[in-house]
Structure 1
């Protein structure tokens, strides 16, 4: 049996394999789907702008992956803080039985069970070389849910910058910001929650460097490949027009059941 009510802050496949079947994607716009999603997206857009500015000094290319500086370390720190904030919001808004101050990486890893983060692929357009497509959460996909190397680098550089400054490289920064892009997509698909009027238009469109089978990310820069392997029993299948009439049309994912 499929999922007949969407979970809070959780975007996933419908039974037909799509992420926006008919008009049912509009559950993303309901006020009770997420608490102030635009707050989280604005922070990401600022980071994306800063990354694109960094590209004027460090060419996005394989040869530069080991570069590091105060700027890469600062951006890495901000990215990881935003990732923690998003993971915290997912858990707490789904009624996870801990306070934000008590959450650890052990708790954050539970979001893998609701959002399949390990299956998201993110591509950096314009990259020169072979390292422009990343799966930042792939270590969480195994049964052991291994640590995230880029998050470990952030922690080490944060707690002892003098000794571990060299770990805050361009490479781990890219993993972190791609991870944040994936995490936002796993919650909000392509919705940026701007006040701009939405349209259901079906006109043709085109753009450069988008023949990769991926989707445009929130913010319009990164390319995202969404998971396509949700078991049928975990896919959404609901009548949104009927659900939206309910006082609360959302369910809460029981992350604690996987702890």
Structure 2
């Protein structure tokens, strides 16, 4: 897990850039007045209050089998950041350090951090789209060998334990036939009020 290389460094950088892009578009598509300036993990942690990222656990065939990329956020979910700080995510801190000081912090771009960042990206994408990858391929029948206790996610490498800690006021349902002709089918999340209060009754989805 401590192995490092130029290839691992490149993949680690690309993965974390994709993570940042997903956080930014979630905030930009909703009510977040801060989305026009430089965002950071203090802002991104607001998404945990609405999507329960820290409760989503990818499982894979490596060791440890269950990954917890946003575990540090869970105790502070829905609470203001202490002293303006955002419950640091260790692998993301190592990404920033290695990005800005590759000479002295090159070893921080190691295999362990790469795996955690890929799991983090999987969590963010799955929290928005479930197992739907919107690919252009044709429908197919898939046979799986062996029992899997967790649900499928985007791609074939990981499976995910989806959050089970939703409060009653966070759970919603809808009838598609009732809303299909409405111009605004999805409400917007008030991220300016997050994490100080819970999200609105509906998620928004961006195109």
Asked if the contact 1:88/1:100 (under 8 Å) is kept, the reply is no
Asked if the contact 2:31/2:192 (under 8 Å) is kept, the reply is no
Which of 117, 124, 127 pairs up with 1:186? 127
Which residue does the alignment assign to 2:136? 195
Which of 64, 71, 78 pairs up with 1:131? 64
Asked if the contact 1:95/1:252 (under 8 Å) is kept, the reply is yes
Which residue does the alignment assign to 1:163? 104
Which residue does the alignment assign to 2:152? 216
Structure 1: unaligned runs, 5 residues or longer: 1-64
| Distance in 2 (alpha carbons) for counterparts of 1:100 and 1:189 | 28
Highest RCO, 1 vs 2 (Cα 8 Å, sep ≥ 6)? 1
Which residue does the alignment assign to 2:144? 207
Answering whether residue 116 of structure 2 is matched by residue 175 of structure 1, we say yes
RMSD: 1.9
Q: Secondary structure at the match of 1:122?
A: strand
Which residue does the alignment assign to 2:87? 146
* Count, aligned residues: 187
Asked if the contact 1:73/1:169 (under 8 Å) is kept, the reply is yes
Note the 1:1-259 alignment, pairs <5 A: 65-125=1-61, 127=62, 130-143=63-76, 146-196=87-137, 206-209=143-146, 211-258=147-194
| Distance in 2 (alpha carbons) for counterparts of 1:117 and 1:99 | 20
Question: CA offsets, 1:225-247, max 9 Å, x none?
Answer: 11011112101221122111101
1:133 Cα offset (Å): 1.6
1:102 Cα offset (Å): 2.7
When normalised by structure 1's length, the TM-score is: 0.68
When normalised by structure 2's length, the TM-score is: 0.84
Structure 2: unaligned runs, 5 residues or longer: 77-81, 196-207
Asked if the contact 1:150/1:175 (under 8 Å) is kept, the reply is yes
Question: CA offsets, 1:154-213, max 9 Å, x none?
Answer: 0110010110011111001000001001110000001111234679xxx9x64135x232
Q: Secondary structure at the match of 1:151?
A: helix
Asked if the contact 1:80/1:154 (under 8 Å) is kept, the reply is yes
Asked if the contact 2:72/2:87 (under 8 Å) is kept, the reply is yes
Q: Which runs of 4+ in 1 moved over 3 A?
A: 195-199
Asked if the contact 2:69/2:120 (under 8 Å) is kept, the reply is yes
1:255 Cα offset (Å): 1.2
